[in-house]
A and B are shown apart, each in its own frame.
Chain A
Amino acid sequence: MTQSPAAARDQGPSLAAPEKRTITLHVNGIDHKLSVAPWTTLLDALRLHLDLTGTKKGCDHGQCGACTVLVDGRRINSCLTLAVMKDGAQITTVEGLAQGGMLHALQQAFIEHDAFQCGYCTPGQICSAVGLMAEGRAKTLDEIRELMSGNICRCGAYPNIVAAIAEVASGTTVRNTGEANR
């Protein structure tokens, strides 16, 4: 990453390029050994080091939720997490949700409910919804809306996003394959 002149001035001599560290990330069931600088975020490690560009960089400040991934089963903002701090962690990104050629129920429900327009927030929305389901706290539509509020959709697809999640969460009319409705 590049440094601003002001940053270089403020850091002084003590910050002569700290050494990179070798870490292992278990991403979508595969172990990856990579060498990262301390300031490399988990988001940048996924996108730039591992070419897993499904996880999106939206605001890069923890405000939009586009970078949401699951770390050890919990949804977090990968833009506010340092890769070096997640050495050894189990990470699931949107690329890891489909199993055996079959979409995850939430991915399928997002398609069925037309729960996106441009699609940029969708990987974060879906990873966040997977985390939401694992937490088991959303029993009503109000609770789904509240507990998904960390994922912004600038196209405003919220009604369909909530409907998709509600369908999977309630276990009714869950469609596991896209073929049935084509």
Chain B
Amino acid sequence: MIKRRVVAVSLLIALSASSAALFSSRVQAQQTDRAKQIGGKFMCMCSCNQVLTQCNHVGCTTSASMLKELDGWVARGDSETVITSAFVQEFGTKVYAEPPRSGLSLVAWSLPTVYLLLGTLLVIFVIWRWRSRALLRPASVAGRQSGVSAQDLERARRRVAQETED
């Protein structure tokens, strides 16, 4: 009877220990994933211009110490905002891997969209203009608006044809 109890208790302890180990390794894995995810938002400060989690320069002590700090904060359960401000306080705004979406940095984020929108509008306008031109005028008279007369342009073309060969 006593033997059975000992076995049962041992089993229970082993089970608890293994689940604790399992839980702890899962927590650790989650922490590692979180650290990796947050670390991907900062630059390594060794001037390699690489993201912190990707800096793999031989002997780079900067990324090693930054990652160690990050791991510590993540293990402590600090929020991303707290970690970000801690890094910014330590290294300045150049630690951001991507500009924050506020203040002047908003310009960096909005510019590509602005380019794309303005460019698209421009292309649509150009197409519309060229289409209306095709509808209004026959192709043969196109090009006569230039400051150079049609005869001069034709003469220049003939000259080019004579002067050049592929």
**Do these two chains interact?**
no
Question: B: which residues have CB within 8 A of A?
Answer: none
Question: A: which residues have CB within 8 A of B?
Answer: none
